Amino acid sequence: MSTGGRILPEAQARRAREFVAGRPPVVPARPASTVVLVRDGAAGLEVYVQRRHTSMAFAGGMIAFPGGRVDAADAADAADAEPGGAAAPGWVSTLDPDPDAARAFVRAALRETVEETGVRLGADGLVPWARWITPRFEPRRYDTWFFLAVLPKGQGAADVSGEAAEAWWTRPATVLERADRGELVMLPPTVAVLTELDGFATTAEALTAGAGRQIRTILPGWVDDGRVVRSLVPGDEGYPGDDPGEDQGEDP
């Protein structure tokens, strides 16, 4: 019996079990971008988090970072000019083999940050941090790039879109502890990013760690022990659990 990974919330566990029982077609993962805003607080590095409205179709009621899917305008604009109106950073080409697709990820990150927080960033203010693909059992799936960005001087983050029930700055350890106590619910990528950021005392340390960071696409698997369903990632004992996908863990 596997004891690794993280226990999935009840709603996710139910969908995982229904997927294994029914073997429905796997929904394609749509490209998306998420931006993890950080700043230096009095007690150390802080991160901006949102609690999504419970009525939202994806990750309703959960703690998340600002972000969303790449839309048609992001993809169309990517073919015309570099994101942010300036030469794109060298790392953009690492996001996707297709140059237009790579630039669209960046454009989506910049757009979503403005729309959800009011914070304006440039492409050179983003640091690629992680790439996660939603598990195959979910009816809505995303291929998401997570970017780290330091809050620019003179700007403040706020919920300007109305998509969040609440939003606040917090130490990574604080929100992780609240999740462990059952006060907050998060998806595995959010937990993973917060856990990594908890190891840095300042934004400078985090940015240094992000420079040249080797990023492997993570497609979670899962295992059902009859009591709970655990999310597993490459390296966890038992991965990929009972995920019937044959290409589990391969980069798209």
Burial zone of 206 (CB within 10 Å; 0-12 exposed, 13-18 middle, 19+ buried):
buried
Residues contacting 92, CB < 8 A, separation 6+ = 83, 102, 103, 106, 123
Residue 56 sits in which domain range?
Answer: 28-219
213 residue type, one letter: R
Specify the number of domains making up the chain: 1
Q: Is residue 224 part of a domain?
A: no
Query: How many other CB atoms are found less than 10 A from the CB of residue 88?
Result: 19
154 residue type, one letter: G
- Percentage of residues of the chain with pLDDT beyond 70: 86
pLDDT of residue 246: 45
Q: Is residue 252 part of a domain?
A: no
Q: What is the mean pLDDT of residues 55-81?
A: 79
Q: Is residue 137 part of a domain?
A: yes
Q: Is residue 11 part of a domain?
A: no
pLDDT of residue 173: 97
Give the whole-angstrom CA distance, residue 214 versus residue 20: 32
Higher-confidence residue of 158 and 80: namely 158
Could you report the per-residue pLDDT of 153-207, keeping only the tens digit for each?
Answer: 999 999 888 888 899 999 999 999 999 999 998 888 999 999 999 999 999 999 9
Give the whole-angstrom CA distance, residue 102 versus residue 151: 23
Query: How many other CB atoms are found less than 10 A from the CB of residue 90?
Result: 7
Q: Is residue 226 part of a domain?
A: no
Q: What is the CATH number of the domain that holds 136?
A: 3.90.79.10
**pLDDT at position 244 over 60:** no
**pLDDT at position 4 over 80:** no
Q: Is residue 246 part of a domain?
A: no
CB 31 within 8 A of CB 101: yes
Higher-confidence residue of 134 and 53: namely 134
Strands 142-150 and 30-41 come out as parallel
Q: Is residue 5 part of a domain?
A: no
Q: Is residue 13 part of a domain?
A: no
**pLDDT at position 18 over 60:** yes
Reported as a pLDDT band with limits 50, 70 and 90, residue 252 is: very low
Could you report the per-residue pLDDT of 98-109, keeping only the tens digit for each?
Answer: 988 999 999 999
**For the chain, what is the mean pLDDT?**
86
Could you report the per-residue pLDDT of 204-237, keeping only the tens digit for each?
Answer: 999 999 998 889 999 988 888 889 988 888 888 8
pTM (two decimals):
0.87
